[in-house]
Amino acid sequence: MTYTSDGNESIPTDFDDVVQQVSTGTLAHQRIDELLLEAHERYSDVDEGLLAHYIPVLGQVEPETFAISMSHVGGTVHGVGDCHHQFSIQSISKMFVYALVLQEHGHEVVHEKIGVNNTGMPFNSVMAVELNNGHPMNPMVNAGAIATTEMIAGKSAAKKWENVREGLSAFAGRPLTLDDEVYESESEANERNKALGRLLKSYGQLDGDPNNAVDIYTKQCSLNVTAHDLAVMGATLADGGINPVTGQQVVSADVCRDTLATVATNGLYERSGDWLFEIGIPAKSGVSGGIVAVAPGKGAIGAFSPRLDMAGNSVRGQLAIGHLSRALGLNLFASAPDSAR
């Protein structure tokens, strides 16, 4: 039996030499346009939720903006609403930086160092770190994300940032740029993340300067994307690591599998269990109002609407993705009785 550095017994594994087969079904892609329109119309009037307020500029956005995009692994991207409206990627960056770090360091090292288990606590919890002897727990909470960003290749902070920006741009299939206003606003309001960085350092979980790691993390959260970009980025993880629009192999198929498993258990903050129970596909949300949901082997949905529930997830985004997951048969846990019987 092996143990990860969070002190937990890891589940037994003994299948490295077994060739992995993949079975994911097909996507009814001829219905995507019609279903996107249906979901957009159905949830446009929902006005529940609040804008994020703890990063000052995020509280000043237009609350009605609503976009849903879907990219099929075949490379066609569909969209309805404000699909080219730009917003900062925020926490959604965590899953793509994690994928780059898995690619760089491999399954075992990253599993051991960052972990994969849900904390059950808010994304910026200090208590979660303390309760787990300084272990960051998983890459989708801020402590784990800061530790993950620190593992990006590059000898200097500038090189690491360049690798983050280039890596995320390869997922999107276009050069992503920094939203300076968001970066400055968040840099002035990120004392808690700096505290998390120092706490990790005190436990020996960061090698370098914690302020550099937090600064790169703040920059990665401030990269601008659109719902269209999120759909393409997610579809790259649905497509064995090949960006379906550019054809570039961004990460390996194994990295996609590991990333999506971690996202499934941790992607919707402390509502991740509810999400998997109701919607049934790996998804990651961010406090600016974006959500990306990935159906392995089929495609991905990028949704944006800035009003959030109490955990920080876009209200309309969750509804739209739930609708599409059901109507397109994306739920990983759903089955029907064998028709040959």
For the annotated binding site for substrate, the residues are 91, 142, 186, 193, 217, 269, 287
- Interaction pattern, residues 101-130, with ligand GLU; x per rule: CB under 6 A: ----------------------xx------
Give φ, ψ of 166 to 5 degrees.
Answer: -65, -40
Question: Given candidates 91, 138, 266, 305, which one binds ligand GLU under the rule CB under 6 A?
Answer: 91
**Is residue 210 at the binding interface for ligand GLU, with CB under 6 A as the rule?**
no
Q: Considering only residues 270-299, where is the footprint of ligand GLU by CB under 6 A?
A: 286-287
Residue ranges in 144-173 that form contacts with ligand GLU under rule CB under 6 A: none
Q: Which residues contact 116 (CB under 8 A, 6 or more apart)?
A: 138, 261, 262, 265, 266
d(CA 229, CA 209): 32
Closest contact distance (angstroms) between CB of 189 and ligand GLU is 8
- Let me know how long the chain is: 341
User: Would you say 124 or 331 has its CB closer to ligand GLU?
Assistant: 124
Report how far residue 322's alpha carbon sits from residue 315's, in angstroms, rounded to the nearest whole number. 11
In angstroms, rounded to a whole number, what is the distance separating the alpha carbons of residues 179 and 166? Answer: 15
Phi/psi of residue 292, each to 5°? Answer: -120, 135
String marking each residue 184-203 x if it binds ligand GLU according to CB under 6 A: --x------x----------
Sign of the alpha-carbon torsion through 206, 208, 214, 219: negative
The token pair at 162 is 């360049």
Residue nearest to ligand GLU (CB): 91
Among residues 4, 69, 90, 103, the one that binds ligand GLU under rule CB under 6 A: 90
Residue tagged 């309805």 (tokens): 80
CB of 330 to ligand GLU, least distance (A): 23
Contacting positions for ligand GLU (CB under 6 A)? 90-91, 123-124, 142, 186, 193, 221, 286-287, 312
